[in-house]
Amino acid sequence: MISFPNCKINLGLRITSKRPDGFHNLQSCFYPVGWSDVLEVIPADAFAFSSSGLPIPGDPQKNLCVRAYRALKADFDLPPVQMHLHKIVPIGAGLGGGSADAAFALKTLNEQFRLGLGPLQLEEYARPLGSDCAFFVQNRPVYCVEKGDVFEEISVDLSGYYILLVFPDLAISTAEAYAGVRPHQPETDLREHLTAPIGNWAATVHNDFEDSLFPKYPLLQQIKQTFYEEGAVYASMSGSGSAVYGIFNAPPVLPNQFSGYVVWQGKLEKQFRG
């Protein structure tokens, strides 16, 4: 079975406090975006994992797809499979690519071997694999709190807008990004800003990681600035960076400044494969 683990962007991101477990509580809206990896899972005589495309740092046996398989294998009589991941979404980009791979591995195995798990049960398997992972089970716009793995409904629909994503070949590890933030309790409600017209967002919807990462990597701020100069209705860094996105009313022309970077553009949709 083949699936296409897509990525996400964060519409606003507030880091509100450090938790006793060392993680951080946050508030954000996660929104699915069509830039995707490719994951194939087929029955085999023995378990095997391989990958192609972008190189994935670390031991392949600790790949999030393998960890997803093992998590289900611990509770179900899963047959051996061969998994192949073609990696396209940049790593260390704040796009949740690795988390999506894990969530799609869980969903594919559940479907392929008829394990009968519902979305809430799949989210339980996803949470220990990564804070972003549970989001990709249902893969629809949600307001996230706590570690980014507890969801509330929010009515944000960007269908019909165009997105341009730029990854400036700069991998920022999530742990490094969190180590630089100063958590604080916001004075306003992000949900109210997000349900107001998108034209207001530039002044009201902020990613707290930009405060520590833009001074360290000024290029990221320049990219965001370029998006606004090119007519974006809203622009921001996604998650813990380093990808920066712009949202446009019409298909954007790629600015010269972005040649040489990894870019992706497409139309925003509200729902991807759940």
Ligand X SMILES: Nc1ncnc2c1ncn2[C@@H]1O[C@H](COP(=O)(O)OP(=O)(O)OP(=O)(O)O)[C@@H](O)[C@H]1O
* Binding-residue total with ligand CDM (CB under 6 A): 18
Residue 64 interacting entry, from ligand X, ligand CDM, none, C-beta within 5 to 8 Å by type: ligand X
Half-sphere exposure of 251 (CA within 13 A, CB side): 4
Site of tokens 């002044």? 203
Q: Is 181 helix (H, G, I), strand (E, B) or coil?
A: coil
100 carries a ligand binding annotation: yes
Region binding ligand CDM by CB under 6 A among candidate stretches 103-111, 129-137, 164-172, 262-270: 129-137
Among 141, 148, 168, 239, binds ligand X (CB under 6 A): 239
Report, as residue numbers or ranges, the catalytic residues: 8, 132
CB of 112 to ligand CDM, least distance (A): 24
CB of 150 to ligand CDM, least distance (A): 11
Interacting partner of 36 out of ligand CDM, ligand X, none (Cβ under 5 to 8 A depending on kind): none
x/- binding map, residues 33-72, to ligand CDM, per CB under 6 A? ----------------------------------------
Contact 164, 5 (CB under 8 A): no
Query: CB of 80 within 8 A of CB of 45?
Result: yes
For the range 178-183, what are the long-range contacts, defined as Cβ-Cβ under 8 Å and sequence gap of 24 or more? Answer: 178/15, 178/24, 178/240, 180/209, 180/212, 180/213, 180/216, 181/15, 181/24, 181/208, 181/209, 181/211, 181/212, 182/211, 182/212, 183/15, 183/16, 183/17, 183/18, 183/24, 183/25
Q: Can residue 168 be called a binding residue for ligand X (CB under 6 A)? A: no
Task: Indicate if the alpha-carbon torsion angle 197, 198, 200, 203 is positive or negative.
Answer: positive
Asked if residue 252 belongs to a known ligand binding site, the reply is: no
Binding-site string for ligand X from residue 177 to residue 216, where x marks contact by CB under 6 A and - marks none: ----------------------------------------
Residues linked to residue 50 through DSSP beta bridges, in sequence order: 84
Residue 141 is labelled as binding a ligand: no
C-beta of residue 246 within 8 angstroms of C-beta of residue 227: yes
Q: Does 231 bind ligand X (CB under 6 A)?
A: no
Q: Which residues pair with 263 in a beta bridge?
A: 166
Single residue of 104, 136, 143, 178 touching ligand CDM by CB under 6 A: 178
Q: Is 97 annotated as a binding residue?
A: yes
57 is in an annotated binding site: no
Annotated binding site for ATP: 90-100
